Amino acid sequence: MNSFPYAVWLIPSGDLCGQLGATVGDLAVRFNAPPFGPHLTLCSGEWAAGLPALKTAMAGFCRGLAPVWLGVEGFGHTDDFFTFFFIRLIDNNSQRLFERAASAINSSRPAKVGPHISLLYSDRSPAINRATAIDRAELVQEITPILPAQISFDSAQLVMPARGDWRDVSSWEVKYSIGLNQANAD
């Protein structure tokens, strides 16, 4: 059986998910970048045991996991496609959460920059040097007033790129969704 790429996302709760989604959408339009749903990547990797087994592993991890609250630490950025501009999250217990995910879902790894919610992916256009064309300090000033001190996450999604390339954001597919504290894999 061939392996396939996957990611397990935690999804912000309630109205904040809609507000963050609107912010991501606005930034995507303003800077000609790909739109995506707001999420915290809990873990990702390559899976070889088939989709049903991955769903079962994810459901097992979510079983007994209460909604997660992470504090907003500020903003961060890199020149990497997926972490061009993001909200940095922190919690004293978040490392344990990521370790539990890696243990429950074999072959997974956490995000390199730690817990975060991306707001803007960089575009692959060689015509634009994203690092200099976008004033991230100005974006921080603009977005800070709408951020709460903490963000809650009450569901998880299993996401896969349909064509195998994560940079092809339009091909991402949610293969499974589960509320935290729910145990049945569909």
Q: Are 166 and 45 in contact (CB under 8 A)?
A: no
What does the pLDDT read at residue 88? 92
pLDDT per residue over 138-178, tens digit each? 889 999 988 899 999 999 999 999 988 888 888 999 999 99
Alpha-carbon distances, residue 93 vs 43, 49, 163 (angstroms): 16, 30, 35
What confidence tier does 125 reach under pLDDT thresholds 50, 70, 90?
Answer: low
Residue 130 has pLDDT above 70, yes or no: no
Please name each of the domains of the chain with its CATH number: 4-179 (3.90.1140.10)
- Looking at residue 184, its pLDDT comes to 47
Q: What is the mean pLDDT of residues 25-31?
A: 89
Is 0.85 surpassed by the pTM of this model? Answer: yes
Q: Which has more pLDDT, 131 or 23?
A: 23
Q: What is the mean pLDDT of residues 23-40?
A: 90
Q: Given a cut of 80, is residue 179 above it in pLDDT?
A: yes
**What average pLDDT is seen over the chain?**
85
Residue 54 is predicted with a pLDDT of 92
pLDDT digits (tens, 9 = 90+) for 56-115: 999 988 887 888 899 999 998 887 788 888 899 986 666 678 878 878 887 787 777 888
pLDDT of residue 185: 45
Residue 126: predicted pLDDT:
58
